[in-house]
């Protein structure tokens, strides 16, 4: 009986020691938004109290999330005060049924996990902001600045506008203006919390301005942005200019050449003079060369389309796929091309032109 009683006491002591064993890791939320919007980037800050010095680093893993992206899953924990650590994770949700993940935070010593603490998911309300509003540019930001804009003639019917935008805590990668067929990002620098976007728009030449809105998260209101379309006098002749085959001047030159050829052929038939025959043959050769269709080539995937045939030129856009093009002109190591399917005109580097 005494042995049984002693055994029970020993087990109780062991259970008591295990139950009240010292815990070294305490994790909680420091900052978490109450409400987010569709495609908005938002931060969540976690904090940890670590009551031991016998560890090398802290790691975080995620589980049970739904319809949400962790944009910086490898973000590192930083010591903020004695025994206190913090980490910021950036998220983006594009669906109202999203669920924040559970956070599994671990203390590591060498290759061993010495302790784990799990922080349960929290609920955040969601709003599909400005649904159906065609003036909304899809951008949600703490700050938005239109740094610069420039408009030049693109062809007889259209102008090309380049806009330069700075934004803070934003989603400029989703920027889009409704009812404009040809538009896109030329360059995006994303150093969260700051972003910079170079964007191009091809618009009817008679259009005098474009207007759009973004949602300001500080004022909790839509802000209107107006871009004046001030057309510069010069045609973009050395840039993304007219297709030479479509210009009126080129058409008149071709017509004059054909008329001249026919005239000399008729004169030869009438006079039977070999001089007129020689001139007719020369004009025929020139006509064949001049009226011959432009060569067709393929521009490689991920090639940059430049506005000017220079290395310092603004990048018009970047090709997502291979593109069949008509070759219009060449200056040094740059080739002017016109897209056969997408109907863009711009300059590429010679090395980016493949064989058809």
Q: Rounded CA gap, 119 and 139, in Å?
A: 31
Q: Rounded CA gap, 283 and 304, in Å?
A: 39
| Residue 258 shares a structural domain with residue 349 | no
| Residue 147 shares a structural domain with residue 195 | yes
Contacts of 53 (CB under 8 A, 6+ apart): none
Residue that has been written with the tokens 């360059």 in this structure: 187
- Please report the pLDDT score of residue 210 as a whole number: 94
| Residue 207 shares a structural domain with residue 261 | no
- Please report the pLDDT score of residue 15 as a whole number: 42
Is 211 within a domain?
yes
323 closest CA partner among 307, 306, 303? 303
Q: What CATH number is associated with residue 201?
A: 2.60.40
Residue 284, SS3?
A: helix
| Residue 281 shares a structural domain with residue 302 | no
- Please report the pLDDT score of residue 102 as a whole number: 96
- Please report the pLDDT score of residue 20 as a whole number: 43
- Please report the pLDDT score of residue 3 as a whole number: 55
| Residue 231 shares a structural domain with residue 262 | no
Is 195 within a domain?
yes
| Residue 62 shares a structural domain with residue 83 | yes
Mean pLDDT per 10-residue segment, the chain (356 residues)? 52 43 87 93 96 93 94 94 93 90 94 93 91 90 92 82 93 94 86 90 91 94 92 46 48 73 81 79 75 77 80 72 83 83 78 76
Domain boundary among 255, 272, 290: 290
| Residue 190 shares a structural domain with residue 231 | yes
Q: What CATH number is associated with residue 32?
A: 2.60.40.10
Total domains, the chain: 4
Whole-model pTM? 0.61
Is 3 within a domain?
no
| Residue 50 shares a structural domain with residue 24 | yes
Is 164 within a domain?
yes
Domain that holds residue 345: 296-354
| Residue 211 shares a structural domain with residue 257 | no
User: Following DSSP, what letter does each residue of 29-76 receive, concatenated?
Assistant: EEE--SEEETT-EEEEEEEEEE--S--SEEEEEEES-BSEEES-TTPP
Q: What CATH number is associated with residue 330?
A: 2.30.30.40
- Please report the pLDDT score of residue 155 as a whole number: 75
313-323 core/surface letters (b: 16 or more CB in 10 A; e: else): bbbbbebeeeb
| Token representation of residue 266 | 């008729």
- Please report the pLDDT score of residue 293 as a whole number: 64
| Residue 285 shares a structural domain with residue 308 | no
Helix (H) or strand (E) holding 226: strand 221-228
């Amino acid at each position: 009986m005494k042995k049984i009683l002693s055994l029970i006491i020993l087990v109780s002591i062991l259970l008591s020691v295990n139950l009240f064993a010292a815990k070294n890791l305490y994790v909680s939320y420091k900052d978490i938004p109450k409400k987010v919007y569709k495609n908005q980037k938002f931060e969540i800050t976690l904090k940890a109290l670590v009551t031991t010095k016998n560890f090398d680093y802290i790691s975080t893993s995620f589980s049970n999330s739904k319809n949400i992206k962790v944009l910086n899953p490898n973000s590192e924990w930083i010591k903020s005060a004695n025994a206190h650590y913090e980490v910021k994770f950036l998220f983006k949700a594009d669906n109202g049924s999203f669920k924040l993940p559970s956070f599994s935070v671990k203390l590591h010593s060498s290759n061993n996990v010495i302790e784990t603490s799990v922080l349960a998911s929290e609920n955040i309300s969601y709003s599909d902001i400005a649904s159906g509003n065609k003036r909304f540019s899809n951008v949600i930001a703490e700050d938005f600045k239109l740094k610069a804009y420039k408009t030049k003639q693109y062809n007889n019917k259209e102008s090309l506008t380049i806009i330069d935008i700075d934004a803070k805590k934003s989603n400029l990668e989703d920027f889009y203006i409704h009812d404009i067929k040809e538009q896109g990002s030329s360059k995006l620098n994303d150093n969260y919390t700051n972003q910079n976007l170079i964007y191009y728009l091809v618009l009817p030449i008679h259009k005098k301005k474009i207007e759009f809105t973004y949602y300001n998260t500080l004022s909790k209101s839509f802000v209107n942005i107006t871009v004046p379309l001030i057309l510069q006098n010069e045609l973009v002749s050395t840039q993304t200019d007219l297709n030479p085959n479509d210009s009126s001047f080129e058409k008149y030159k071709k017509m004059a050449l054909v008329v001249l050829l026919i005239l000399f052929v008729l004169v030869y038939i009438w006079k039977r003079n070999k001089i007129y025959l020689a001139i007719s043959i020369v004009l025929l050769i020139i006509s064949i060369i001049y009226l011959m269709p432009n060569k067709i080539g393929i521009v490689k995937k991920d090639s940059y389309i430049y506005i000017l045939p220079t290395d310092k030129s603004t990048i018009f856009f970047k090709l997502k796929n291979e593109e069949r093009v008509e070759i219009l002109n060449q200056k040094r190591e740059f080739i002017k091309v016109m897209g056969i399917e997408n109907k863009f005109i711009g300059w590429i580097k010679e090395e980016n032109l493949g064989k058809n």
